[in-house]
Amino acid sequence: MLPPLSGAAISQSVVTNNQSLQTDVTSDQTLNVVDTSGPVSSVATSTGNNLLAATANGSLDVESAQTMPGNVTGNVSAVSHMFVTTAAGDITQLAAATGNTAEGVTDGSQGGGPLSGNFTQSAAASWNVKSETDFQSPGAQATSASIASQAIANSLGFAVTDASSNVTTSQTNSATVDAEGGSELNGGSGATLGFTAGTVAYSTTAVANNLTGTGTGNASQTIDATQVANGPLVQAAGFVNVGNGQTVQGDATATDNNLAVTNTQGPLVVTDTQTNNTHFTLAESVATDFQFGTGQATAFGVGNSALAGNLGPSTDMNNTQVNTGGIQAVASFTGDTGFDATSSATAMGNAAIGFACSQCGGVININNSQVTSGGGVEADSTTTVTNTTGNARSATGIATAVGNNATYYVSRPNN
């Protein structure tokens, strides 16, 4: 007779995932509103390949491959149309198109164990990933408006609570990635609204390859990530026009390779290799407000961006970034009569940040290599205020272009 086991066995879950997109995936939503005092919402989303793997019992290993192959010419697109004739309350509008997306989750507070695995994503040059928000309400008023257009080719997310992760990832994008806000539909008139006493926040976001990792509680993370972007275009372009608005904010962000990993207690180890050969990366934000309290246009374009931040004791980061693509950020705000106007454009070839917590006896171990060459890095900012009544308090224009930027530090968590 065998002796009794001295302890409980730890269960092991295994997920093997293979997904290949072979056709178009599109969503198109139209919302017509005449007059309402309540909230109004229009959402259009499209996803090519999607995976969620999670455990709250034992360990989890994930072996995943998601492809948008080159033998297929296809589109992943999301379009949201909204038309308000007279009035509406709080307006929410979203168009989100995602090619490949996968999440790995483990919750140690519920019994989940270590997360491990290999994740691969690719989008071929024969594909387009596009989002578009069409907001046309030139004669209407609204309490507020939040409008967002988001296009991402490849996206990975890891969430670890009171457990550990050890994953290897590879993301390659050759597709066209385009997040538009009113620039093509209806003759390129842009998003329009007559009046609001609140805030109009208009954003466009385009990313070729995206990876996020979040560790909470007593969590530790080890991530080995490779990201390659070599498509023809990654573009985020938003155009918003308000007749009379208290606060108008236009934001555009275009990123070829993005990695952001944060942790709270245990060690954080990140090894990343980011290569951007995308022909052209453009972030463009154009905002106009005839009568305004605060007006702002912000554009941010970057080839490679990496963040490894630990509120716990140690961060190890081995960062390699090569950017040869052209990067441009364009921001423009125009107003006639108002108070505070700002236009800010930032373009970077490579950007990296790493930190640990000084109150935890924190240390950082960094190996950083950054190269920017080739297509150029350009930032353009324009601020125009006619100010016929002489009430303007401030007008600010900022243009910042950086080839390689790295920041590594140990400090208090609130710093």
| Residue at 8 is within a domain | no
| Residue at 3 is within a domain | no
| Predicted confidence (pLDDT) at residue 10 exceeds the cutoff of 80 | no
3-state DSSP assignment of residue 352: strand
Q: What is the pLDDT of residues 197-247, one digit of tens each?
A: 999 999 999 999 999 999 999 999 999 999 999 999 999 999 999 999 999
| Residue at 96 is within a domain | yes
Q: What percent of the chain has pLDDT over 90?
A: 86
pLDDT in the model for residue 338: 86
3-state DSSP assignment of residue 110: helix
pTM of the model: 0.94
| Residue at 2 is within a domain | no
pLDDT in the model for residue 413: 61
| Residue at 232 is within a domain | yes
Instruction: Band the pLDDT of 312: cuts 50, 70, 90.
Output: confident
For residue 298, the enclosing domain spans 28-411
pLDDT in the model for residue 190: 67
Partner residues linked to 330 by β-bridges: 284, 380
Cβ atoms of 363 and 312 within 8 Å: the answer is: no
| Residue at 258 is within a domain | yes
Partner residues linked to 237 by β-bridges: 180, 284
| Mean pLDDT on 298-324 | 96
| Residue at 10 is within a domain | no
From 227, 52, 224, select the one nearest 122 (Cα to Cα): 227
364 φ/ψ angles, rounded to the nearest 5 degrees: -125, 140
Domain count, the chain: 1
| Mean pLDDT on 86-94 | 96
| Predicted confidence (pLDDT) at residue 391 exceeds the cutoff of 70 | no
| Residue at 12 is within a domain | no
> Can you spell out the DSSP letters for 354-415?
EEEEGGGT-EEEEEEEEEE-SS-EEEEEEEEE--TTS---EEEEEEEEEEEEEEEEEE-TT-
Q: What is the pLDDT of residues 252-304, one digit of tens each?
A: 999 999 999 999 989 999 999 999 999 999 999 999 998 999 999 999 999 99
Q: How far apart are CA 17 and CA 357, in angstroms?
A: 37
